[in-house]
Each structure stands twice: as C-alpha cells, then as structure tokens.
Homo-oligomer: A and B are copies of this chain.
C-alpha cells in the first residue's frame, strides 16, 4: 500500500473532477457561490515546507533500529510529514499551506509483535511518546502530537503487520495482523471464500487496527455489525506486557477489556492483532435504489425496516439536499438514460412525489437467492407504504462503485478555497426528526452569522434496533473576514453542539481524538470521563501513549 498524499486524501494519481458531470458546476455555483471552473490554488510544493530537524537521541535511535531493523527506522522529512496528522479538514487546510505542526521525530515500521514490544520498551525507557499509525485516515485529530510536546515522538507504523494468520472456518473467525489495509484484508479472505464485510468510507486507505482503535463502522454494518461487534479478540502491546483476550463469542469476565481497547486510539497500547468474524461470500449481492417522497417519510420507512427485522446489508437514505447533490454528480445521460428518466418522471408524478423534496435511498441485500428475494419483497412493501418507489439496480451499482471516492471531493474543493467536512452521530429513532431539524437549523444559523453561503446535507445509515446514524456533510467558502479554520470551528461546533443538545452522541464512528474531546463530558458525563481517565492514567502513568487524545491528562 502506497503512502497517502502528504497534503490530502488518497493517491496522487486519483482526483475528483467536475468535468464529466454536467450538472455539478451549476449546482455548486448555486449552493456555495463558487465557480469550480475557475483555476484552483494547489497546495504548496513539499520542497518549500519547513520540516524541523528530528529530535531523537542516539541511544533511542539505536534501540529502535535494534527492535525494528535498520531499514525500518526513518527520519526522512516526507515520511515524517505523512505521519504527522490524519486527514481531518483541519489537517488538510494546515498541511496544504506548509504548516505541518509538531511532526514526529522518527517513523518506525516493526515487522512483528516482538518488534512492537521492543519499540515500546525503548520509547518508555527514553520517556518518548509513541503514536501508533495505521492508514492515517482518521478525521478527528487522533494522530497529531500535542504542539507543545517536548519529548521525542515516535510514529509507530503498523503497515508491515499485514497478514491473515489463520482462518477457523468452523467458527467463522480469522486471526489477522492489525496493520492490514482494507483491500488487502479482503483479498486474503476472498482467496478462501470469505469476507469480513467491513467497508468504511476510508476502506481503501485504512487498517484493521485503525478501525478497532477508533470504533469504526462499515457501510454494511446492518448485516456485519460495527467493528466492535465483529472484533472477537485483540492482542495489544501495553506497558505492562502484551494483552491477549480470547476469541469467545460472549463472556462474563467483569468490565470488558476488549471494549476498553475498542476506541482507545493508542492510549492503552499498540494493537497488533485481532480475531474477527468472517462470513462466506454471499451467493447474491444487490443494492437497489428507492425514492421516498420526503424526509419525514424517509426516516419513518427506515424505522419501519428496522422494526420489521428484515436486516438487509445496507439501509441508507439521503435527505433532499443530499439527493439533489447526488443527482448533480451524474455523468452526461445517454439516450437510454433519457428514456428511463422520462419514465421515472411519469412515475413520480403519478405518486405525487415532488423532485425538490424526494429522498434517494439505497438498500443492500446479500445472501441466498431465497433470502434476498424475501428481503426485497419486505422492503418493497415498506417503501410502498411510505409513498415511495424502487428505481432499480443501476443507481445502487453506481453508488457501490463510487462509494470510496467521496473523500477526494474535499481536496477538489480545497483547491478552490472551499471547505467541506462531515459530522456524524447516532440517536434513538424517536429523537431523529428533531435532531435533524435542529442540526440543520443550527448549521444554517452559523452560516448566516458568518455571512457565508453554506450547504448542509445528510443521510441516515447504520440502522439498529433502537436508532440509527445521521451523517451530515457541510461545505462553504470562507468569507475572508477571518481565518478559514475559525469559521470552520463555528460551523462544526454548532453541529456537534446540536448533537449533544438533542440526545445524540458526539460521534457514531469517527472517534473522539482532539476534534470531539470538548463534547465528551456532555456525552458520557463527568464521572464517565473520570472512568476513562482512570483507565488511561493507570495503564500509562507516564502519559507516553498518544497523549492528549480522548481525554486531556490532568
């Protein structure tokens, strides 16, 4: 797996473009008052970036080389800058201008768990800081060292721990090294007829260990579960030795140590291995598109689906603003598309569906032909009861092909001086309508307060028995009157505050990091924060493990 671009998302040779999407330029012009056809402003060249000299003494360097091998210890400036931050909007904005912050002093790539233990021991002996690094895609600030950190910072890159170690076919469990990237994991599992079924947006550039450390959730979590569900056991190198839990399906061993490691963002140790659920590759797999008449009925249809216990692999529905954005990103229609489009217009008119209000939904089905057929019937019935209709498999196929490309849009917009980001949450079904209304109102009030033209849109995804995830995307061109990130903080802060003010959580699957830490106490209460802090302080009394994340040390 190649390293990501130092200044943005993904690979240098992949980029988002508006040129093959005739509706997009006018859409963005209307929505954000930005003309994307105007030439953009690229990031500064790397050669102009001022990367500080690494601060690492000879004893530590020798110990790291002894642990990982000489070839796997790097003080190269580019390598260190790539490992300095994740891909939060704040990270991209700063990196693009050459502000790379407190970059790690050394990047180490251990080849096995013993090397990880050796690195941690060496770092603790030197009172250095260790920040584990998977794919570097975190968007909550989980990877950046505190600006004031004076100790040596070691970025521990797990990329060489990328093997599938064992499959227990009877138990449908796979033992996998934590540094494996999504595609490489699936490739190794597919060779034996299995899938992990975990497909977060970051899939192509993120790792199993990163998913566990941040409580990730994949697009097909409705069927396969969140990473917390599918991770049965972990191995974690901690200051007290290697934590090893057992891959049992359920256990009564006191407070769950497995659930302490999930979401721990490197603060308890370095995750080296996990035992995860695998599933036989499904006989059939299809994602169907649906249109629902408006957001209230769209929400209600998703709730009815959860209540009916149909359990498709994907349930997702966009609000009207996101539906309009989706339609604006379509390529130029063929003659056949135009025929289909006219037929659809007729069907919508017959059902009284207003194009300004309608909501695009994707529902995914996996399994035996019989199971898929039964689920499709049940979903079709519920969609119909809520005034909607099925629009077939082709929009779903397109969604399925393009689902991992969305993060590239941020770089496309940043090139044009426009900020775009996401905030997501979860709440009980009953709380979702009011939560949605208040988040939209508060974000728009923030746009107005700043005097900017902003856009915000949302989809529901990840359905559960008692609630679901709402995923908001917002964008605006800074006014120029203030620092762009200052205006970003106003908008992002308004959205996050609306989450916790309306019974929702600070994040459904993007972790706490530094971006969300200020809302943790409002979410889990002060005694909850005290419990997390007690755990961190007890395991890592010197504060050497990724300090400053989740809770600030007192």
CB distance from A551 to the nearest CB of B (A): 8
Q: Mark A315-345, 1 if CB is under 8 A from B, else 0.
A: 0000000000000000000000000000000
Q: Give Cα distance in the complex from A215 to B367, angstroms.
A: 32
Segment 213-228 of A: residues with Cβ below 8 Å from B:
214-217, 226, 228
CB distance from A381 to the nearest CB of B (A): 12
**Chain B residues in 8 Å Cβ range of A523:** 246, 251, 253
**Residue A530 lies at the interface, judged by CB distance under 8 Å to chain B:** yes
Segment 396-449 of A: residues with Cβ below 8 Å from B:
425-431
Cβ-defined contact, A251 with B505, below 8 A: yes
Segment 293-330 of A: residues with Cβ below 8 Å from B:
303, 307, 309
Contact A263:B257 (CB < 8 A) given known A168-B428, A430-B170? no
Segment 139-173 of A: residues with Cβ below 8 Å from B:
168-173
Q: Give Cα distance in the complex from A219 to B487, angstroms.
A: 54
Segment 189-219 of A: residues with Cβ below 8 Å from B:
214-217
Partner of A243, one of B171, B262, B528: B528
**Residue A265 lies at the interface, judged by CB distance under 8 Å to chain B:** yes
Segment 523-554 of A: residues with Cβ below 8 Å from B:
523-528, 530-535, 537-539, 550-551
Who on chain B is nearest to A171 by CB?
B428
Q: Mark A504-518, 1 if CB is under 8 A from B, else 0.
A: 111111111000000
Partner of A248, one of B172, B243, B505: B505
CB distance from A432 to the nearest CB of B (A): 9
Cβ-defined contact, B428 with A247, below 8 A: yes
**Chain B residues in 8 Å Cβ range of A428:** 168, 170-171, 173, 247-249
Q: Give Cα distance in the complex from A269 to B525, angstroms.
A: 15
**Chain B residues in 8 Å Cβ range of A244:** 524-525, 527-528
Contact A246:B503 (CB < 8 A) given known A252-B511, A531-B535, A533-B538? yes
Q: Mark A477-506, 1 if CB is under 8 A from B, else 0.
A: 000000000000000000000000001111
**Residue A277 lies at the interface, judged by CB distance under 8 Å to chain B:** yes
Question: In which size bucket is the chain A interface?
Answer: 35 or more
Which of A214, A263, A509: most chain B Cβ within 10 A? Answer: A263
Known contacts A170-B428, A534-B538, then 6 further A-B pairs from the complex at CB < 8 Å, ordered by chain A residue:
A217-B252, A242-B527, A244-B528, A246-B503, A254-B532, A255-B259
Subset of 11 A-B contacts with CB under 8 Å: A171-B467, A173-B430, A228-B256, A246-B505, A251-B426, A251-B505, A253-B263, A255-B260, A260-B260, A260-B531, A534-B539
Which residues of A are interface residues toward B (Cβ below 8 A)? 168-173, 214-217, 226, 228, 232, 236, 238, 240-257, 259-265, 268-269, 277, 303, 307, 309, 367, 374, 425-431, 462, 464-469, 503-512, 520, 523-528, 530-535, 537-539, 550-551
